[in-house]
């Protein structure tokens, strides 16, 4: 069944008031599932559910993409003593929609001597990779398109697929800058994939599961960043750095390094194909931020402190979805903060940072965490 | 078959040649660098210039001396006032005009303000070359304040044309002193922010220390002047060695380093901003009374002969060489522009570094392309 149920401790019954649904989506999804089952056969139910989820994720994808572009421009303006977009709509909130229409209507310039098949394929690979990763992310209790038992592995694997698109784009553009950008990107993403994986493995050891919903559920008594002593905190920092690098964002934006390679691998792209790369970059940022929120910061779990019952009650009152979005945007803000205040690294420094610092730190960190869990010294 | 054999090249000969420019974000204008790469490593850099050549030196031969001043603005547009001053000083030297102190002091203050705003823009774009995009806005925010002062006094913001042979175009605005003092007070507080944002950053240190080392011997033999030369230990400050205007009356330090890498070229410019503020502070309260221009003949004719005057622009030594045959326009004019000379060293110091370092080195030389092409 596609609407998987998250492990529910106190499953609310259908007679609960309507707003209860914001605290547990599983009752709603159950209701939809059973009513669909009543209406049609198993096969058509599955098809219909796939369609609904596909459309919902597509909508969410587009909305998040548009909002993140707007948010980035506002955050960047805030860092740079500017106002940012403020003309289209109140506070310029429709600016990105206007930009989207501009990109849609722009001419798709055919490139001479480019490998047109690969050239056209590349943006799709990049965007599909990010699209697939979104499916496994738990947004709230029961709001989870597919709850794989190897969810963490799936997300890491799928989001790493984007590099193929970047490499193809750089190769097929028949542009020297693009090729350098693509090669840099290849070296960078393959290297930093290790750190991302290892820092998550540190937490997987602590959680004892790779299923994202279980990882979230295990944080009911406390977020892993607090539970796991110092190793979890180190893993969080390493994850932040390496995931920033993995999404090709500043200060690790060597693949598109504006001042060196003009625009790197997407120099030759225009119109909606460029928009695909652009959108995928922001969605990738959203994905790594939501993994950081899920794995380290408790996903949709509210912030609870020991025996402060009053405080905990207030925190529980905030719907899980809001918690999830809040945490994700907190991480996104930190990543934007990086981008707008740091100068860019050089390629050899980038690889040195990964192979000589982050990787050894991570390996030792995994050992320490395993030892802690073995001795039962974590909270 | 034979042709094919000829086309096979050895590994050494195979080069990945990219064209940086004439349209490129980090060449700061229409400069074209033909860069031979091996992977990421720069094998050689060949600058190709002339994309913005307007023949300023030739044009000078057919116009009068006061008109030449307006062309010099368009050479190094960031040191516009200093370029003007260079021509005026040459003409005044040829005519042996005695310039009152008031003019000298105002010219010096304006020159130093020009130097600060030039370095601010350099800092802004250098940060951007290294990928720190926020620097650009911080630099330009503070530069606005100087441009506002220029606007009030000169009527123009960037291409000021404030000098004329024998003095200044107009007197300073009544607000001038007050606003300059306000700016100095403001900028003394804001300049440490530049360090917080860029100079103090670990990534910046990694990117700039030991990159593009220029030895003292090379600096002297290539003739690298300005902060780039002084970072290598080449004491070449014209203000110190051959004082013009009011520089002989004031105390200031020549910023000298010995390392000569990108980092010290950077620090040299930051320190120059501090030093320029010291110079302005010494002068701003002591502007003597007097006329703002000496009465000159309606048509200025230089006596027959050769005249040379050098000044220190924000980028180095600018020399103005005029050959006069006694007419109202010069027989020949030659500008020794600092940027043209500084560019020549690029291949020498960028060789063997990465492509990202090439951008950093180019940025640290602070090239203004219209001054190269003229």
Starting at the edge strand found earlier in the chain, the sheet holding B32-38 runs B16-20, B32-38, B41-48
Distance from the A250 Cα atom to the nearest Cα atom in chain B, whole angstroms = 8
Note whether B206 contacts A346, CB cutoff 8 Å.
yes
DSSP output for B76-136: SGGGHHHHHHHHHHHHHHHHTPPPPHHHHHHHHHHHHHHHHHHHHHHHHHHHHHTT-THHH
Which of A185, A259, A341 should we substitute to test contact with B (largest number of B Cβ atoms within 10 Å)? A259
Question: Which tokens in the block code for residue B202?
Answer: 């670990």
Q: Does B202 touch chain A (CB under 8 A)?
A: no
Residue A156 to residue B359: CA distance in whole angstroms: 34
B1 falls in which pLDDT band (50, 70, 90)?
very low
3-state percent breakdown (helix, strand, coil) of chain B, nearest 5: 50, 15, 35
Residue A109 to residue A271: CA distance in whole angstroms: 8
Query: How many CA atoms within 13 Å lie on the side-chain side of B122?
Result: 31
Averaged pLDDT for residues B216-245: 88
Burial class (CB in 10 A: 0-12, 13-18, 19+), B157: middle
DSSP SS3 for A118 = helix
pLDDT of residue B4: 53
Residue A148 to residue A162: CA distance in whole angstroms: 21
Give the residue numbers spanning the domain of A354.
114-375
Residues of chain B found within 8 Å of residue A184, distances taken between Cβ atoms = 40
A164 domain-assigned: yes
Burial class (CB in 10 A: 0-12, 13-18, 19+), A32: middle
Residue B286 to residue B288: CA distance in whole angstroms: 6
Is a pLDDT exceeding 70 seen at residue B3? no
A253, containing H or E segment = none
Asked if residues B62 and B333 have their Cβ atoms less than 8 Å apart, the reply is: no
Is a pLDDT exceeding 70 seen at residue B11? no
Question: Alpha-carbon torsion B78, B79, B83, B84, what sign?
Answer: positive
Asked if residues B71 and B83 have their Cβ atoms less than 8 Å apart, the reply is: no
Q: Which of B16, B136, B359 sits opposite A260 (nearest CB)?
A: B359
Residue with tokens 């979230």: A216
**Which value, in Å, is the radius of gyration of the alpha carbons in chain A?**
22
pLDDT in tens, B326-364: 888 889 999 888 888 888 888 888 888 888 888 888 888
Is a pLDDT exceeding 80 seen at residue B314? yes
E strands in chain A: none
pLDDT of residue A303: 74
Say how many residues make up chain B: 374
Q: Which of B18, B132, B137 sits opposite A176 (nearest CB)?
A: B18
Q: What is the mean pLDDT of chain B?
A: 86
B8 falls in which pLDDT band (50, 70, 90)?
low
DSSP output for B148-211: HHHHHHHS-SSS---EETTEESSPPPTTHHHHHHHHHHHHHHHHHHHIIIIIT-HHHHHHHTTS
Question: Which tokens in the block code for residue B28?
Answer: 């700061």
DSSP SS3 for B336 = strand
pLDDT of residue A11: 47
Question: Which tokens in the block code for residue A86?
Answer: 């403020």
Question: Which tokens in the block code for residue A102?
Answer: 């501009």
First to last CA, chain A: 35
Size of interface A-B (CB pairs under 8 A): 83
User: Which own/partner pairs from A80-85 qualify as long-range (CB within 8 Å, at least 24 positions apart)?
Assistant: A80/A340, A80/B133, A80/B134, A80/B136, A80/B137, A80/B138, A81/B137, A81/B138, A81/B141, A82/B137
Question: Which tokens in the block code for residue A291?
Answer: 């993994």
Asked if residues B362 and B228 have their Cβ atoms less than 8 Å apart, the reply is: no
Note whether B203 contacts A258, CB cutoff 8 Å.
no
DSSP output for B309-328: EEEEETTEEEEEEEEE-SSS
Q: Does B102 touch chain A (CB under 8 A)?
A: no
Total domains in the fold of chain A = 1
Note whether B203 contacts A177, CB cutoff 8 Å.
no
> What distance lies between CA B152 and its chain's CA centroid?
23
B123 or A35, which is more confident: B123
Residues of chain B found within 8 Å of residue A259, distances taken between Cβ atoms = 25-26, 128-131, 359
How many CB atoms are closer than 10 A to CB B192?
11
Among B146, B105, B84, B114, which Cα is nearest to B250's? B105
Distance from the B261 Cα atom to the nearest Cα atom in chain A, whole angstroms = 17
Which of B22, B125, B356 should we substitute to test contact with A (largest number of A Cβ atoms within 10 Å)? B356
A186 domain-assigned: yes
How many CB atoms are closer than 10 A to CB B186?
12
Distance from the A341 Cα atom to the nearest Cα atom in chain B, whole angstroms = 6
**Residue A251 preceded by cis peptide, ω within 30:** yes
Domain ranges of chain B: 14-373
Residues of chain B found within 8 Å of residue A347, distances taken between Cβ atoms = 40, 354, 356
Residues in chain A with pLDDT < 50?
1-13
Among B165, B142, B198, which Cα is nearest to B299's? B165
Note whether A344 contacts B131, CB cutoff 8 Å.
yes
Distance from the B92 Cα atom to the nearest Cα atom in chain A, whole angstroms = 44
Residue A159 to residue A133: CA distance in whole angstroms: 6
A152 domain-assigned: yes
Question: Which tokens in the block code for residue B254?
Answer: 């020549």
Averaged pLDDT for residues B194-198: 84
pLDDT of residue A18: 63
Residues of chain B found within 8 Å of residue A79, distances taken between Cβ atoms = 134
A225, containing H or E segment = helix A224-227
A349 domain-assigned: yes
A20 domain-assigned: no
Q: Which of A177, A259, A343 sits opposite B18 (nearest CB)?
A: A177
DSSP SS3 for B347 = helix
Asked if the ipTM is above 0.90, the reply is: no
DSSP A140: B
CATH number 3.40.50.2300 is the correct assignment for the domain at B14-373: no
pLDDT in tens, B78-108: 888 899 889 898 988 888 888 888 888 888 9
pLDDT in tens, B49-73: 888 888 888 888 899 888 888 888 8
């Amino acid at each position: 069944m596609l609407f998987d149920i998250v492990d529910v401790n106190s499953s609310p019954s259908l007679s609960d008031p309507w707003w209860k649904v914001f605290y547990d989506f599983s009752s709603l999804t159950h209701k939809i599932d059973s009513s669909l089952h009543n209406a049609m056969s198993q096969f058509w139910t599955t098809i219909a559910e796939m369609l609904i989820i596909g459309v919902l994720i597509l909508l969410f994808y587009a909305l998040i993409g548009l909002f993140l572009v707007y948010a980035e421009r506002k955050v960047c303006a805030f860092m740079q003593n500017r106002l940012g977009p403020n003309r289209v709509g109140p506070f310029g909130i429709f600016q990105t929609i206007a930009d989207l229409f501009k990109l849609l209507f722009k001419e798709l310039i055919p490139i001479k001597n480019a490998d047109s098949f690969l050239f056209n394929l590349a943006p799709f690979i990049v965007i599909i990779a990010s699209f697939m990763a979104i499916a496994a992310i738990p947004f709230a209790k029961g709001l989870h398109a597919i709850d794989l038992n190897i969810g963490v592995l799936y997300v890491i694997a799928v989001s790493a697929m984007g590099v193929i698109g970047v490499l193809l784009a750089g190769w097929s553009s028949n542009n020297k800058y693009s090729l350098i950008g693509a090669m840099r990107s290849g070296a960078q993403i393959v290297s930093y994939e290790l750190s991302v994986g290892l820092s998550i493995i540190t937490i997987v050891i602590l959680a004892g599961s790779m299923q994202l919903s279980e990882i979230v559920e295990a944080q009911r008594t406390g977020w892993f960043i607090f539970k796991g002593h110092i190793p979890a905190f180190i893993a969080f920092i390493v994850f932040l750095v390496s995931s920033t690098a993995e999404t090709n964002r500043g200060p690790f934006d060597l693949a598109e390094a504006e001042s060196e390679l003009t625009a790197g691998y997407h120099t030759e792209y225009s119109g909606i194909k460029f928009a695909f790369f652009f959108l995928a970059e922001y969605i990738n940022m959203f994905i790594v931020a939501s993994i950081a929120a899920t794995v380290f910061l408790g996903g949709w779990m509210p912030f609870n402190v020991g025996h402060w019952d009053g405080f905990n009650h207030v925190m529980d009152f905030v719907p899980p979805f809001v918690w999830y979005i809040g945490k994700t945007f907190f991480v996104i803000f930190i990543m934007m903060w990086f981008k707008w205040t740091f100068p860019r690294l050089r390629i050899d420094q980038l690889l040195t940072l990964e192979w000589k610092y982050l990787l050894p730190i991570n390996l030792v960190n995994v050992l320490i965490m395993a030892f802690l869990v073995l001795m039962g010294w974590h909270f | 078959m034979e042709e094919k054999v000829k086309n096979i090249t050895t590994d050494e000969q195979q080069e990945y040649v990219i064209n940086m420019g004439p349209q490129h974000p980090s060449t700061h204008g229409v400069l074209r660098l033909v860069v031979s790469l091996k992977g990421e490593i720069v094998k050689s850099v060949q600058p190709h210039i002339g994309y913005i050549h307007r023949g300023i030196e030739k044009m000078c031969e057919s116009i009068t001396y006061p008109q030449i001043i307006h062309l010099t603005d368009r050479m190094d547009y960031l040191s516009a006032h200093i370029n003007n001053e260079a021509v005026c000083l040459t003409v005044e030297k040829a005519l042996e005009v005695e310039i009152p102190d008031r003019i000298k002091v105002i010219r010096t203050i304006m020159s130093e303000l020009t130097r600060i705003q030039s370095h601010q823009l350099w800092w802004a774009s250098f940060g951007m070359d290294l990928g720190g995009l926020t620097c650009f806005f911080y630099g330009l925010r503070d530069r606005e304040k100087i441009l506002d002062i220029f606007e009030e006094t000169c009527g123009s913001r960037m291409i000021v044309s404030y000098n004329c042979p024998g003095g200044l175009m107009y007197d300073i605005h009544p607000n001038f002193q007050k606003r300059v003092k306000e700016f100095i007070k403001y900028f003394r507080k804001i300049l440490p922010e530049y360090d917080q944002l860029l100079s103090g950053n670990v990534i910046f240190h990694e990117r700039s220390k030991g990159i593009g080392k220029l030895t003292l011997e090379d600096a002297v033999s290539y003739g690298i002047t300005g902060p780039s030369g002084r970072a290598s230990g080449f004491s070449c400050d014209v203000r110190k060695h051959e004082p013009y205007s009011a520089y002989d009356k004031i105390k200031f330090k020549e910023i000298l380093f010995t390392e000569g890498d990108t980092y010290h070229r950077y620090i040299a410019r930051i320190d120059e901003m501090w030093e320029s503020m010291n110079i302005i502070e010494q002068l701003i309260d002591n502007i003597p009374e007097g006329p703002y221009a000496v009465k000159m003949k309606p048509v200025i004719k230089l006596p027959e002969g050769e005249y040379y005057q050098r000044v220190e622009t924000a980028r180095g030594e600018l020399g103005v060489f005029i050959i006069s045959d006694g007419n109202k326009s010069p027989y020949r004019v030659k500008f020794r522009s600092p940027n043209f000379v500084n560019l020549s060293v690029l291949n020498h110091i960028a060789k063997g570094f990465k492509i990202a370092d090439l951008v950093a080195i180019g940025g640290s030389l602070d090239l203004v392309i219209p001054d190269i092409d003229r």
